Chain A
Amino acid sequence: MKELLRIEDLQTRFYTRDGVVHAVNGVSYSIDEGEILGVVGESGCGKSVHALSILRLIPDPPGRIESGEVWFDGKDLLTVSDEEIRRVRGGQLAMVFQDPMSSLNPAMTVGFQIVEALRLHLDMTERQAKERTTELLTTVGIPDAKNRLDDYPHQFSGGMRQRVMIAMGLSCNPKLLIADEPTTALDVTIQAQIVDLIKRLQAELGMAVIWITHDLGVVADLAEKVNVMYAGYIVEHGNVRDVFKRTRHPYTIGLLGSLPRLDEDPGTELSAIPGFPPDLIDLKPGCPFAARCPHAIEQCWNETPRLEPTETKRHTVACWRWEEIAQGVA
């Protein structure tokens, strides 16, 4: 498969009154055409900020992309002109946000908002754009789409609004769709519908997807590869099967242990991760997970581990002791 997006050493910080927030601390990875990548992590791990950085949507000030390269379609998105990045956004590279109510304009009809994007990016006439919009809304499963073009966002339910957002993201046939917690605000039965829809669209249209979520279950269901993020670092990356079945990072192990599972015997105590994530304002050197890690040693407090390949080579982990932990001797 051909490489679609490559990120090198991305660093994003926010300069606030309380201090410098180290939100993304040197993230590097790549994604191929037609691939679905899940990005998981808890609040404040940098998963959303890293996505916003890709599209240069970080408000500056207070935010600043300190360093890095984002290669997409032969261009480094961090150095292209403002005009150029606007063409990429919503065109080849689209984003769907978590809360559809606050990312749709409440004072404009849903039809108008999609038609606008189509006319802007694809240079369509009003009539063509309207036809295409109806088609898109039908594709994402909105019944009677033709008659709903003139409805306002509040006339749709939460699940339907999220479909509208996805239709909008898809409108210009993107090569990459970045979806930031698109189902978090939705009920499980609606989430299942959306996940199903994304799988179908990916298969039909061959687009790549970066799916940002805190739900490991959704990632297991949907993604082929996964990035596990913690305190602005990628701590584990690889094929979904490797990361879930041959989990190497103590944080990922802890996350999976914190989850009760529908297919396991209930009644056993959950292996919670003690403590809480570090303050990104005074992020100390060393492994960011050291303070909560049951295996931390002196080295972990002093030196930050880098991602290195595990025994399968398809899978990378940032932990000094992953081999000992895997062998059960840590």
Chain B
Amino acid sequence: MEDERETLAQIRGLVKHFPIMRGSIIKREVGQIRAVDGVSFDLYRGETLGLVGETGSGKTTVGRTMLRLYEATGGKVIFDGVDLMSLKGRELDQIRRRISMIFQDPLASLNPRMTIGSIVGEPLLVHKVGNKKQRRARVGQLLEQVGLNPHFVNRYPHEFSGGQQQRIGIARALALNPDLIICDEPISSLDVSIQAQIVNLLERLQNELGLTYLFIAHDLSMVRHISDRIAVMYLGKIVELADRDSIYSNPLHPYTQALMSAVPIPDPDLQDTRQRIILEGDVPSPANPPEGCNFHTRCPAVRLDHCPQAEPELRELRPGHWVACHYAEDYL
């Protein structure tokens, strides 16, 4: 099955550490936040890969480092055969046209002093696409594509509701006909009834334009809805990666199991009968992650003679189902 799909991007051993600085005049590095600590996965053309995890798991940093909004500490991002990490100047610009991003907070990611026409048209201007008239026509077309009235071009972001603002962000992301869109929690700041509108829009655009999505989120039910495959992150590492159905019907990592059992289902009957795994404690600090398996401090199935000492590899236990747990076979 793997071979039939065309690989669009390969992420290999991606690492991003942020220095922790101390001192007011003479700054010195006193430690590192290990936000992303060796992440590898493939993105297939036309798929949606859901990247889930809790606060501080490094999911957003993965997205930003891939686009080189942050410079990676290590690792490779091979996009369509080219390593993005080694590119400079014009070559990097060329590739960046093909990857765009949708942000979590729509209002914060739109310049309040620009009309939505110039916001959506800005990528075209920056990359010198077409002349003024062509650009204007393209902006109108983009607005229509995301379900906004093209007559709104001269309005400002604050005149729109949250859902409409996110549509503007999506129109901007589509402007250069990208292959890949990194969606960084695009719906988590929206109301429930509006979330569904945006998700339906993203799915429709994917079908029409053959887009590939990296969908970063913490809402597991929405991720399941939209994704073909899902990667679960914990403290800067991928702990499980598999097809949607396989990960939901048979999660092999104790963290994934706990995460899924913690998601409330809007059905009182089911809630009463469900087995819930309640994790104890908080996520440890990424500045000082636990040794060995980084989940061992909260794992309900921890074996103290092994887990705190040895770091588990991400292993393929079933075709396409990868998991980083020493004892994942127990759940097969």
Contacts and interface: CB of A to CB of B under 8 A. Distances in A.
Interface stretch (A3-11, A91-99, A167-175, A256-264): A256-264
Interface residues of A, number: 47
Contacts of A245: 268-269
B124 to A, nearest CB: 29
A291 B308 CA distance: 58
Given A189-B279, A261-B221, A42 B193 contact: yes
A143 B92 CA distance: 50
Interface string A177-200: 000000000011111110110000
A269 interface: yes
B301 interface: no
A258 B192 contact: yes
Contact of B203 (A159, A261, A269): A269
Interface in A89-123: none
Contacts of A274: 197
B266 A244 contact: yes
Interface in B8-29: none
Interface in A265-311: 266-267, 269-274, 276-277
Contact of A269 (B194, B200, B262, B282): B200
B176 interface: no
22 contacts: A42-B192, A157-B282, A160-B282, A188-B259, A188-B262, A189-B258, A189-B262, A191-B264, A220-B271, A244-B268, A257-B196, A258-B192, A260-B221, A262-B220, A262-B263, A262-B265, A263-B265, A263-B267, A269-B200, A270-B225, A271-B196, A273-B197
B265 A218 contact: no
Nearest to A257: B196
Given A276-B161, A276-B194, A217 B265 contact: yes
A214 interface: yes
Contact of B218 (A43, A188, A195, A240): A188
Contacts of B267: 220, 244, 261, 263
Interface of B: 54-55, 161, 163-164, 191-197, 199-200, 203, 218, 220-222, 224-225, 244, 248, 258-271, 276, 278-280, 282-283
Contacts of A157: 282
B225 A260 contact: yes
Interface string A13-45: 000000000000000000000000000001100
A80 B188 CA distance: 41
B264 A218 contact: yes
A67 B280 CA distance: 46
A262 B224 contact: yes
A52 interface: no
Nearest to B197: A272
B264 A221 contact: yes
A273 B282 contact: no
A182 to B, nearest CB: 14
Contacts of A217: 221, 263-266, 271
Contact of B266 (A220, A271, A273): A220
A266 B225 contact: yes
Contact of B193 (A160, A188, A192, A258): A258
A207 interface: no
Given A192-B278, A276-B161, A261 B265 contact: yes
A267 B54 CA distance: 24
Contacts of A160: 282
Contacts of A189: 54, 258-259, 262, 278-279
A145 to B, nearest CB: 15
Contacts of B259: 188-189
A255 B196 CA distance: 9
Given A160-B282, A218-B264, A255-B193, A260 B222 contact: yes
Contacts of B244: 266
A191 B259 CA distance: 11
Nearest to B164: A276
Given A187-B55, A189-B54, A189-B258, A258 B195 contact: yes
A132 B34 CA distance: 39
A270 B218 contact: no
| Complex A-B, nearest 8 residue pairs according to Cβ-Cβ distance, in ascending order | A217-B264, A260-B225, A272-B196, A258-B196, A42-B191, A192-B262, A187-B54, A216-B266
Nearest to A217: B264
A254 B192 CA distance: 10
A255 B266 CA distance: 10
Contacts of B262: 188-189, 191-192
Interface string A126-151: 00000000000000000000000000
Contacts of A272: 193-194, 196-197, 199-200
A188 B268 contact: no
Interface in A200-218: 214-218
B52 to A, nearest CB: 10
A87 interface: no
Contacts of A187: 54-55, 218, 283
B197 A240 contact: no
Given A187-B54, A241-B268, A262 B191 contact: no
A259 B164 CA distance: 19
B226 to A, nearest CB: 8
Contacts of B283: 187
Contacts of B221: 217, 259-262
